[in-house]
Amino acid sequence: MHVVWLFLYPIVALVVGVLFLGLSRKVMARMHWRYGPPILQPVIDIIRLFSQRSASHGRLFDLGIVLSLAGSLIIVLFLPFGDVAPLSGSGGLLVILYMMLLGPLGIALSAGESANPNASIGISRKLMLAIGYELPLLLVLLAFMSRYNTISIVEVVRLQRATGWSIASFPLVVSGVAYLLILPAILAIRPFELVQAPQEISSGPMVEYGGSYLALAKVQHALSMFIGISLSVNLLFGGASHPLIFLLKMLVILMLGLFVNAAFPRLRIEQAIRYLWRWPSLIGLVGLVLAVVIGR
Amino acid sequence: MDRNQLVKWLKAPAKMGHKYSLHAVYFCTGCGIIEVPPSITARWDAERFGVLPTATPRQANLFLITGYVSVKTLRAIIRTYEQMPEPKYTVGFGSCPINGGMYWDSYNTIKHLDRYIPIDGWIAGCMPRPEAIFVAVTHLWTLIDKDMADGYKRYRKHYAAYRANQEKVLRGLDWPPLFPVEEQ
Amino acid sequence: MDRALIDSLSSTFDALRVEVPREDRLTVQAPRDAVMSVLSFLKGRGYDHLHMVSCVDWMEEGQFELVYVLSAYGTGQDSASNPGEEIILKTRIPRELPTVVSSISLFKNAEPYEREIHELFGVRFEGHPRLTPLFLERDYEIPPFRKDFDTRQYVEDFFGSIPPVGEEDQDV
Amino acid sequence: MRELELYFGPQHLGMVGNFSITLKVEGDRVVKADANPGYLHRGFEKLMEQRSWIKNFPMVCRINVVEPDSMELAYATAVESLAGIEVPERAQFIRSIYLELARVGSHLFGLWAYSNMLGFDTAAQWAMYHRDLVLDLFEELTGGRVYHIYIWPGGVRRDFPEGFEKRLVETLHSIGGCVPDYDACFFDNRLFYDRAAGIGKITREEAMEMGGTGQALRATGVPYDVRKIEPYAAYDKVPWEVPTREDGDAFSRIWVVRDEMIESVHMIFKLLDEMPKGDVYNRIPNPFKWRIPEGETYVRCESSRGELGLYLVSDGGDKPYRVHFRTPSYPHGLTILEKALVGESISDVGNIMISLYVVAPEIDR
Amino acid sequence: MAKPSLLGPLRVIKYLFKKPKTLRYPFELKEPARRYRGFHLNDWDQCTGCGNCADICPNDAIEMVERPEIAPDPGEKNERPRLDYGRCCFCGLCVDICPPGSLRLSRDYFHIHFDTSTFVFTPRDEKTDDETFLPAEKYSVLKASLAHRKRDYQGFEPEIDYALFDPDRVEMPEVPPEERKLSFVEQMLGYDREQAVREAERCLECALCEDACPAHLKISDYIEAVYEDSPEDSLRTIYEDNPIPAICGRICMKHCEDACSLSIRGEPLAIRWLKRFVSDTVRNYRDALEQSPGEPTGKRIAVIGAGPGGLSTAYFLRLLGHEVVVFDELSGGGGMLRVGPPRYRLPEEAIDKDVEYIASLGVDFRFQTRVGRDVEFEELRDEFDAVFLGIGLTVSRSTRVENADRCQLALPFLAKNKTEEKCEVPEEVIVIGGGNVAMDVAREALRLQHIRYPGKRTVTRTVSLEDWDEIPATEEEIEEAREEGVEFNPAWGPKRVVLDDQGNIKGLLCMKVNSVFDEEGRFAPTFHEDQEMFLEGRMIIEAIGQGADFSFLPKEVMERIEFTEARKVRVNENGMTTVPGIFAGGDIVNVNLDAVTAIADAKAASEGIDQWLSGGEG
């Protein structure tokens, strides 16, 4: 059973991620006063991209994207979906923290190979942004770890079932707010959609991606969306015992994210970093201190 | 089982993908671009047809050549076209690429675009309305269904001739041939 | 139009032909050498807005005519100039040896205009920092805006010589 | 730091129009910007020398696709002044209404371009939707969505169709009803302020030195507007204000655009109230035999992007001898843009360009 | 502006729950505006093939192509505009210039195709998709994308108030009816220079008139010359085809103006008046024309009749160097034009001006010389190398109703009025006939009455078989006659001339006409015998047509000359009759019975004579 889940789970994550992509396009369209594409449009896009010929720019170019995708897939395995978490025992939050860097790094590796100035600008933005949100994320995760006294995310979820959602419990609410503040950056939505920034740097790292590379990048994007939302549900909103309830919670988070996405333009990278290192980090630090002081 | 039937079935999803996911290069080649923003935004909403503008040619499979093409733009167009991954479709938008249009006697615009890159469909009008873009999209769907949208194949087949014409207009192309050009 | 301006123009410079075709319009015909000094004189009088630099090819007379259109922004304190008035300054230069001093030092926005005239008419502007091509990709034997460049003929000869591709399998 | 050469355009999602800027960047900063126009050069002025006076009317509007109408007006006025044709009073009012409508449409397009550039799709989509409503009005009035060919020497080409005034007012009210939404979501958006304030700053002196007009100049506090200083059509028949701002940055320019749009709508209402009855067209001479007496003229008008000038020479023949358009984007896109980009971040290249409202086809012509 | 805010923008959320504003093509279709400028429509029945659209097109997108399946009406061409949508910019200039208003723009705008050749086609109202765009089987998959050319889907249409051409002609100054009916003063005063230039400017140069003109004058050229303000050039152009401009400029039947494309929705260009303007303005033809007779050839030609045909033949032959002698029984040139048209339409000075110029080229005029009386026809045949018969129709016909012998005939009446002693007229006059001659007679009679009985009530009535819709006189003649006070009684046929006891004419008894022509269009009037009407009148003039007088011809010649079914002299394309050496032209040959057709005949005949004399086939 366990082994089956190991293979099934990433697929579920992928499906959910892609559906979320479709849904987000639909919801955005509504706020734009239009109908938007069919919900399955991203699936069609990905199929189309896989069937197109694509030019490679070298081995690292191929490898990087796979690496990034692998990173995301591994994270997925650590995240409980409802009650199920294929790799629940080991690592947990720390693994996630590390693996979350793998995505940007892989893309950076790959895109760096394409020698397109837009791509290199995009990479630098991506890495800076990753560094930008890693710091508050670390603070948040540390607060959770010290509060719940565990590094396993499954444990966190289990404990919340006893104590209520951590977002509703003091002092974790502070860290929770900090997490929500960096969530747009993790999801790479506006105002932090500055890695792709099609109007500025022609979709940045992806500028040379075509065909199956782009398809993989899209898949990776869908997965990272899943990861970001799933992590917040697990950490802040108590996870769920039933996958459907879990999905519902994810949906709510997604909607909140989309509202923000629809309401703001994108920031410049230095403004983004300044923001991330100021308010979320500050709040995260306060949250950590409170968690350490008030906690056991 | 019939072998052809099998091939057809296997190809069906890809074909479906090509049809319903036409991502257009966003390239304002001429004045026709003025009708593209309305058609991709709230009033007409081309995304319902799966048509989206993309930032780079690598991600696109549809090239809307919007309006007249000056010599300088032709270079960029060929560049862009060659960067697009196959299969790719081109649609000439407005009168000017068909036969010169308004600028039939201008020294600096291309008269027949299909002599430089292959075109799968033309939209008449000056300007064509957004609805015409949608009809062009459905037209392209039909062509893809019937395997008639074969511009990229023609480009391969006649690459030498295309390249010769391109070189004639743009003295010296500063990039190597996309496909090997055999001596004829 | 300010009478005093007209008087001081003609008293300061010789060989100027000043006309007032309309109430709010002044046409000044100056010799080539005087253009810069007239321009700077006018700028000093508050005409600080250079609308455009244009060029007319009077082929039959063998001359190019450079046209500077000036008016005032009307923000200067001391200037009595009215922003609704325009001064058209014209000068004729021979068609064979078309050179003239660049007016960039007085008006920064003259730069692209002069570049354009250089490209499309072949007039040289002395002291212009970059007379590189602005619009055109191809070289033309005659600068295309000259009257002796026949664009219809050119189109027929040049674009007409490009063959269609793949005629034989048009019947897809 | 390493200097990098970066091509912004012509194929670029942030580029409106076929235009390109060659940037020298150090890290994120632009060290030098070279505007590279010519992708849309058709040799308009040469082509116009080959066509008779009337045949140039379908031609002139195509110089600028975003707002073709001011081009029509400039050419029609120049032809009228050379040929001595009178324009009926009602036609003058219709021209003003039409031009203001075009200004609203053009500014909405600019708003689309600008907010799209900032990645702010929502306002962009709304603006484009509203522009389409304006285009519907144009379609009803002139028969074309984009190229109207409506202003004609001697007046306008057709009178208002039946019930047009009512629909005009209704449409403008429905657009005006969304102004609070635009304000809340875009103009008063904190992040819009963060992105635009202080960006692409040009001082009043710089703007004047480099031939700036329109929003580029008005955003520095100079109330310079051809409609006021040399009124044409019916602009002197109704009261209206020239909106200005002091800072000279992208933020001020976009706000000037917003205020202008609202002012234009108000002006249309006033003009509609004052509009007289009567003819709208004085018949022009037979187009096949129409000669215009020898002479030259320079006319100017206020397009949505700044001052538009036209220098027109006739040698007494049936065609213009020389046509030269002074388009507003020309100094904005070639001189001011190159200056304003230096020292800015690459993220703001498109931002600055669109805030200056550079429209490529009217640079290249 | 309010303070920038972070929460305000979240207002967008409210639109999540509102209905989107998108028009969902193809489910929600938006009708294009009423004036939409889409693809072209062309009503082939109205289109005259004038080609103005092709001329005004700024993009060379319109080409006139010949459509052999069309049988053009007179004054039209069988060419129709063909559009190239690879060029067209949908500006609608072609619509605004189209004189018949047949070319319109529809509200259709879809044409999407992979084959560029489909973008060139000929618009037509009743065209269906199948015949226009789908040339071969293989295209049938694409029918949807060519949804095109719906009928009655008109968009931008021509409006005469905004047309690019001027539908109203420059008013011709004329003597008002109250004044002119009191004397024989010339009615039309003629254009002055400025008016002529303004009128000439209206010409669209489509040259439909040149095809319609029997003599194929280069009308647009001489109009252009008038516009350029050089009447001399214009006169030179006219004289290439027409040597009697002063005459034609007054009384030409102006087939050209009927064909004029401006006439379809407006008033035709005043081609005739402009010709008159040219001939009046140029004082000295010789200096203006700088013509001289060609090298003498030694051949001699006799022209019988100095009417338009005779004058023209003489002129053309003289220019070729032949020696020409013109015989006419009248005292001056002009032939029937000297007799027929009243002075207020064609003063003799105008005729003499043209005749004198031709005489000055060396043509020998022998007036008051009637062939058959003063000189024998056989003598002419011996003395001259060729003979041209331009004798015209000189004998008035009679109705031959009871007591018709008491009536006067039109031609003698008119002829006498040309002399100093005018005809005596009573206070009530009846004119039988509905043609132009009848109008002339009636209007002359009316003038004579006014001169003779000043201040008294006088009546002039006309009776014609034809009803208003088929009355043969030109509209303007009728209009002018009515202005002057002539009464009309159309669709009444004369039955009997009623005499009083003294044997003087008392009036005319008429009967109602049922129909004038039979089914085959032949003249065969039928009457309602029971409906009668009595018109009072002391004098009745019959003006119902004329016949030719061939009595001067010797019998053997007369026998050899063949006639057509319409009782006209049969000539070949060179104007030669069935007797070698005898040529003919004018009213005895053609059915138009007007001056310009006579000129056309004369031109053909003079070329034929020249060819025949130089040994070619006649």
Distances (CA, A) of E559 to A295, C154, E565, E588: 142, 69, 16, 16
Q: Check if the beta carbon of residue D16 is closer than 8 Å to that of residue B29.
A: no
pLDDT at C44 over 60: yes
Residue of C nearest to D39 (CA): C135
Q: Which residues contact C50 (CB under 8 A, 6 or more apart)?
A: C68, C69, C70, C103, C106, C107, C109, C110, D211
Vertex C97 angle, CA C94 and C101, to 5°: 85
Interface residues of E toward C, Cβ cutoff 8 Å, are: 114-115, 138
d(CA B55, CA A193): 14
Share of chain B above pLDDT 70, in %: 97
Partner chains of E (3+ C-beta pairs under 8 Å): A, B, C, D
Query: Are 3 or more Cβ–Cβ pairs between A and C shorter than 8 Å?
Result: no
Share of chain D above pLDDT 90, in %: 10
Residue showing tokens 């590189």: C132
In this structure, is residue D38 part of a structural domain? no
DSSP string of E127-181, one letter each residue:
--HHHHH--SGGGGGGGGGG----TT-B-S---GGG-SS--SPPPPPB--HHHHT
Query: Are 3 or more Cβ–Cβ pairs between E and B shorter than 8 Å?
Result: yes
Looking at the structure, do residues E93 and E136 belong to the same domain, yes or no? yes
In this structure, is residue E618 part of a structural domain? no
pLDDT score for E525: 81
Q: Check if the beta carbon of residue E416 is closer than 8 Å to that of residue E410.
A: no
Looking at the structure, do residues E366 and E233 belong to the same domain, yes or no? no
Residues in B touching E86 (Cβ below 8 Å): 95, 98-101, 124
In this structure, is residue E15 part of a structural domain? no
Which value, in Å, is the radius of gyration of the alpha carbons in chain C? Answer: 21
Q: Does E88 touch chain D (CB under 8 A)?
A: no
Q: Which residues contact E150 (CB under 8 A, 6 or more apart)?
A: E106, E108
Q: Does A211 touch chain B (CB under 8 A)?
A: yes
Put the strands of the sheet holding E582-584 in their side by side order: E364-366, E323-327, E300-304, E386-389, E582-584
Residue of D205, D213, D322, D363 to mutate when probing chain C, most C C-beta within 10 A: D322
Residue of E11, E12, E17, E21 to mutate when probing chain A, most A C-beta within 10 A: E12
Q: Which long-range contacts (C-beta less than 8 Å, at least 24 apart) are formed by A142-145?
A: A142/A288, A142/A291, A143/A171, A143/A172, A143/A174, A143/A175, A143/A284, A143/A287, A143/A288, A143/A290, A143/A291, A143/A292, A144/A93, A144/A172, A144/A175, A144/A235, A144/A291, A145/A93
Q: What is the pLDDT of residues E436-462, one digit of tens each?
A: 888 888 888 888 888 888 877 788 888
Q: How many domains does chain D have?
A: 1
Strands B89-93 and B121-123: parallel
Q: What is the pLDDT of residues B60-109, one digit of tens each?
A: 888 888 888 888 888 888 888 888 888 889 988 888 888 888 888 888 88
Instruction: Name the token pair of C69.
Output: 């259109």
3-state secondary structure (DSSP) of residue B152: helix
Question: Which of E543, E294, E583, E538 is CA-nearest to residue E428?
Answer: E538
Interface residues of E toward B, Cβ cutoff 8 Å, are: 20-26, 29-30, 32, 39, 58-60, 84-90, 109-114, 116, 119, 141-142, 144-145, 147
Residues in D touching A121 (Cβ below 8 Å): 28, 346
Question: Which of C166, C124, C121 is CA-nearest to residue C144?
Answer: C121
Residue of D36, D46, D65 to mutate when probing chain B, most B C-beta within 10 A: D65
DSSP annotation of C159 reads: G
pLDDT at E141 over 50: no
3-state secondary structure (DSSP) of residue D47: helix
pLDDT score for E398: 79
Q: Least CB-CB distance to E21: which of A33, A260, A263?
A: A33
Q: Check if the beta carbon of residue D38 is closer than 8 Å to that of residue B72.
A: yes
pLDDT score for E70: 81
* Longest distance between any two alpha carbons in chain E, whole Å: 118
Amino acid at E391: I
Residues in A touching E24 (Cβ below 8 Å): 35
In this structure, is residue D318 part of a structural domain? yes
Q: How many domains does chain E have?
A: 4
d(CA D9, CA D364): 15
pLDDT score for B138: 83
Q: Check if the beta carbon of residue D74 is closer than 8 Å to that of residue D300.
A: yes
pLDDT at A186 over 80: yes
pLDDT at E336 over 60: yes
Amino acid at E310: G
Residues in E touching B104 (Cβ below 8 Å): 59-60, 87
Strands C49-58 and B121-123: unpaired
Q: Least CB-CB distance to D13: which of B26, B79, B129?
A: B26
* Domain chopping of chain B, boundaries: 3-169
Q: ipTM for the complex?
A: 0.84
Give backbone dihedrals phi and psi of E507, rounded to 5 degrees, phi first: 170, -170
Query: Is B13 within 8 Å of A207 when comparing Cβ atoms?
Result: no
Q: Check if the beta carbon of residue D128 is closer than 8 Å to that of residue D311.
A: no
Q: Check if the beta carbon of residue A220 is closer than 8 Å to that of residue A205.
A: no
pLDDT score for C80: 56
In this structure, is residue D328 part of a structural domain? yes
pLDDT band at B1 (very low <50, low <70, confident <90, very high): low
Q: Check if the beta carbon of residue E93 is closer than 8 Å to that of residue E58.
A: yes
Q: What is the pLDDT of residues D206-238, one digit of tens each?
A: 888 888 888 888 888 888 888 888 888 888 888
In this structure, is residue E31 part of a structural domain? no
CATH homologous superfamily of C3-160 equals: NADH:ubiquinone oxidoreductase Nqo5 subunit (3.30.460.80)
- Count Cα neighbours of B155 within 13 Å in the Cβ-side half-sphere: 24
Looking at the structure, do residues E536 and E561 belong to the same domain, yes or no? no
* Domain chopping of chain C, boundaries: 3-160
Looking at the structure, do residues E335 and E242 belong to the same domain, yes or no? no
Q: What is the pLDDT of residues E172-226, one digit of tens each?
A: 888 888 788 777 778 878 888 888 888 888 888 888 888 888 888 888 888 888 8
Domain range for A179 is 2-294
DSSP string of B8-59, one letter each residue:
HHHHHHHHHHHHH--EEE----SGGGGGHHHHHSTTT-GGGGT-EEESSGGG
Say which residue, A85 or E109, is predicted with more confidence: E109
The structural architecture, per CATH, of the domain B3-169 is 3-Layer(aba) Sandwich (3.40)
Which value, in Å, is the radius of gyration of the alpha carbons in chain B? Answer: 17
d(CA E596, CA E603): 10
Q: Does A36 touch chain B (CB under 8 A)?
A: yes
Q: Check if the beta carbon of residue A82 is closer than 8 Å to that of residue A243.
A: yes
d(CA D68, CA D74): 10
d(CA B72, CA D4): 24
Amino acid at A209: Y
Q: Least CB-CB distance to C151: which of B75, B106, B111?
A: B106
pLDDT band at B184 (very low <50, low <70, confident <90, very high): very low
Average pLDDT over residues A96-114: 79
Q: What is the pLDDT of residues E55-71, one digit of tens each?
A: 888 888 888 888 888 88
d(CA D239, CA D228): 10
Helix (H) or strand (E) holding D152: strand D151-152
Query: What's the mean pLDDT when you consider all of chain D?
Result: 87
Question: Which of E324, E396, E402 is CA-nearest to residue E366?
Answer: E324
Average pLDDT over residues D75-101: 90
Amino acid at E195: Q
Instruction: Name the token pair of E437.
Output: 């001659």
- Residue E183 sits in a domain whose CATH number is 1.10.1060.10
Domain range for D103 is 44-364
Residue of C nearest to B72 (CA): C137
Query: What's the mean pLDDT when you consider all of chain B?
Result: 83
d(CA A64, CA A75): 17
Residues in D touching A33 (Cβ below 8 Å): 125-126, 129
Amino acid at E609: I
Looking at the structure, do residues E229 and E259 belong to the same domain, yes or no? yes
Q: Which residues contact D153 (CB under 8 A, 6 or more apart)?
A: D53, D76, D79, D80, D83, D85, D284
Q: Does B27 touch chain D (CB under 8 A)?
A: yes
Instruction: Name the token pair of E157.
Output: 């249409």
d(CA D257, CA D247): 14
Q: Which residues contact E527 (CB under 8 A, 6 or more apart)?
A: E493, E495, E511, E512, E513, E514
Average pLDDT over residues D132-159: 88
pLDDT score for E1: 66
Query: Is E114 within 8 Å of C172 when comparing Cβ atoms?
Result: yes
pLDDT at E262 over 80: yes
Q: How many domains does chain A have?
A: 1
